[in-house]
Structures are given as C-alpha cells and as structure tokens.
C-alpha cells in the first residue's frame, strides 16, 4: 500500500508511479459541491479519466477497468468512518489517499 501525499492547494497535479507505471493525478477541490475530484493522466499527459468524486472508503477505479487506469485500486481511507472529505482533511492527513497495488487487490486484501 502506498500513501499519496496531497498538497494543500485547491488544484494539484502529482506524478506517481503505480504498479511500475507513471501516472499524473490531478486533484481538485470543488467549493460549490464541497468535494474533491480526481482526474488521471498517463505518462504522456494524455487524459485517461476525469471527474471521479473522492468518496470515503470506496474503491475509486473498479468501475473504470475498461480504461487504462492503474491496475490496482485507489481509496480515500478515513480512520473515523466519516461520510465526506472536507477541503482541509485530505492535505492535512486526517484522511489518506492510498494506492493498493494490483497483486494486493488480486489476493483479496482489499
């Protein structure tokens, strides 16, 4: 499991290596809807998917397997079972954006 650091800004682009492939994660805070959204780009900055709402403790990529998304799974883990993620919670580390590698997902640890 890999924790992905989120910058304390409303919009960020982070380069990450997930299961030996490079991706760019674009995280955006939507102040009207009061939620974080995610877009994923490949190593060539080609958009794979956009507009994924970060929902606590829910697999984010499972329903997009027909696209070239990372092979594992992204989750926002909440230690307190909250049902929403505030603007401050993600960059502060109150909740964590984590990547579960593909072999861990296949072994059923998710």
88 token code pair = 């401050």
CA dihedral 3, 58, 13, 44 (to 10 degrees): 100
pLDDT in tens, 45-82: 999 999 999 999 999 999 999 999 999 999 999 989 88
Beta strands in the chain (DSSP E): 2-4, 11-18, 21-30, 35-42, 47-53, 73-77, 96-100
Looking at the structure of the chain, the number of domains it has is 1
- pLDDT digits 0-9 by tens, 38-51: 999 999 999 999 99
Which token pair is 101?
């590698």
Residue range(s) defining the domain that contains residue 98: 2-106
**Tell me: the pLDDT tens digits for 25-37?**
999 999 999 999 9
């Amino acid at each position: 499991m890999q924790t992905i650091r989120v910058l304390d800004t409303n919009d960020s682009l982070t380069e990450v290596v997930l299961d030996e492939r490079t991706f760019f994660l674009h995280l955006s805070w939507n102040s009207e809807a009061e939620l974080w959204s995610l877009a994923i780009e490949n190593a060539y900055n080609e958009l794979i998917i956009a507009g994924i709402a970060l929902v606590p403790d829910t697999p984010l990529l499972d329903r997009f397997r027909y696209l070239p998304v990372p092979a594992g799974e992204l989750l926002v883990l909440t230690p307190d079972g909250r049902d929403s993620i505030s603007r401050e919670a993600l960059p502060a580390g109150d909740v964590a954006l984590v990547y579960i590698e593909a072999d861990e997902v296949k072994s059923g640890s998710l």
